[in-house]
């Protein structure tokens, strides 16, 4: 597990987190955060890589081929996302209408397919822990833009999790063979939490990224701070992520409906 904290280093323009030309940290992906001000423009062209563009905050024109869409998202806590998935050799043109922050994820893909724009109307949302499991300690919203089910032509998966203050996510601890990255956004820049992966514990912060290539993982958010994090997965050749979840057998009992019935009963 590797944690990248670049919040103090971020500058206007494209900020690299993972660059496969230098070190992919085992993810097989390029990942970066694009910071734009009103009037800024940015063009993406990849000869061999597909690309996902996710608007975290702001307003921007997203243009590709002969299509143009005005995307607006004041924040990622109360507003749903716009996410473009485009194949290699697609020119993507981004133009900011105001201060905007955009997550970008890429990987090699030889398939050619029709680019897809996922909108607030098409996001898939799962309300996990909403029935009071574990006394409500793992209540969260899991959002999926695309995965193997709706985009089998892609080599990637991308979604978001809205984690409530003081709650756990990616819980109970689990793992999968496919590498995964988490990119964190707190509702306050001083917000923080903790991540657990492969026997390590690390502090999470605003605009930080954890890279998980092995081991059981889970995380928690500090009380008072809401967390929205993107989760990106790279399919393995011949072993795509099919909502794959291998629970830590030591904690598998937490799935029982009566797991916490004994607490505070005596």
3-state secondary structure 15-41: EEEEECCCECCCCCCEEEEEEECCCCE
Quick check: is 101 in a domain?
yes
Quick check: is 89 in a domain?
yes
Q: How far apart are CA 239 and CA 142, in angstroms?
A: 22
Q: How far apart are CA 45 and CA 51, in angstroms?
A: 9
Domain tally for the chain? 1
Quick check: is 264 in a domain?
no
Beta strands 246-247 and 227-234: pairing type? unpaired
Quick check: is 261 in a domain?
no
Residue pLDDT tens, the chain, 266 long: 588 988 778 999 999 999 999 999 999 999 999 999 999 999 999 999 999 999 999 999 999 999 999 999 999 999 999 999 999 999 999 999 999 999 999 999 999 999 999 999 999 999 988 888 888 899 999 999 999 999 999 999 999 999 999 999 999 999 999 999 999 999 999 999 999 987 789 999 999 999 998 889 999 999 999 999 999 999 999 999 999 999 999 998 998 887 876 665 54
Q: How far apart are CA 36 and CA 101, in angstroms?
A: 6
Write the burial class of residue 259 (CB in 10 Å: 0-12 exposed, 13-18 middle, 19+ buried). Answer: middle
What is the domain-level CATH number for residue 125? 2.60.120.10
* pTM attached to this predicted model: 0.95
Quick check: is 26 in a domain?
yes
Q: How far apart are CA 97 and CA 104, in angstroms?
A: 18
Q: Which two tokens stand for residue 41?
A: 């423009």
Place of tokens 């956004």: 185
Alpha-helical segments (H) within 185-228: none
* pLDDT confidence of residue 266: 46
Quick check: is 263 in a domain?
no
Quick check: is 144 in a domain?
yes
Q: How far apart are CA 178 and CA 161, in angstroms?
A: 18
Full residue range of the structural domain in which residue 192 is found? 2-255
Quick check: is 265 in a domain?
no
* pLDDT confidence of residue 125: 92
- The single-letter DSSP state of residue 235 is P
Rounded alpha-carbon distances, angstroms, from residue 31 to 65, 157, 226: 23, 13, 23
- The single-letter DSSP state of residue 255 is G
* pLDDT confidence of residue 19: 97
5-10: which pairs have CB atoms within 8 A and are 24 or more residues apart? 5/205, 5/207, 5/208, 6/207, 6/208, 6/209, 7/189, 7/205, 7/206, 7/207, 7/208, 10/35, 10/207
């Amino acid at each position: 597990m590797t944690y990248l904290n670049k919040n103090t280093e971020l500058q206007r323009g494209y900020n690299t987190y993972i660059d496969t030309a230098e070190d992919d940290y085992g993810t097989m992906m390029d990942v970066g955060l694009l910071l734009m001000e009103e009037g800024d423009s940015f063009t993406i062209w990849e000869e061999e890589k597909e690309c996902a563009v996710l608007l975290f905050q702001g307003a921007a024109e997203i243009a590709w081929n002969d299509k143009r869409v005005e995307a607006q998202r004041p924040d990622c806590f109360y507003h749903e996302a716009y996410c473009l998935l485009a194949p290699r050799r697609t020119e993507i043109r981004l133009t900011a209408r105001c201060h905007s922050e955009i997550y970008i994820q890429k990987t090699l893909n030889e398939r050619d397919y029709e680019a897809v724009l996922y909108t607030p109307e098409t996001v898939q949302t799962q309300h996990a822990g909403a029935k009071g499991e574990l006394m409500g300690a793992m209540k969260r919203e899991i959002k999926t833009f695309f995965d193997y089910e709706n985009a089998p032509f892609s080599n990637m998966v991308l979604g978001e999790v809205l984690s409530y203050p003081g709650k756990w996510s990616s819980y109970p601890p689990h793992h999968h063979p496919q590498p995964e990255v988490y990119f964190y956004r707190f509702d306050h820049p001083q917000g923080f939490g903790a991540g657990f992966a492969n026997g390590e514990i690390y502090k999470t912060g605003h605009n930080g990224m954890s890279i998980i290539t092995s081991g059981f993982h889970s995380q928690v958010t500090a009380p008072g701070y809401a967390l929205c994090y993107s989760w990106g997965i790279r399919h393995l050749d011949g072993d795509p992520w099919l909502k794959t979840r291998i629970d830590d057998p030591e904690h598998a009992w937490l799935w029982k409906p009566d797991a916490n019935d004994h607490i505070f009963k005596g």
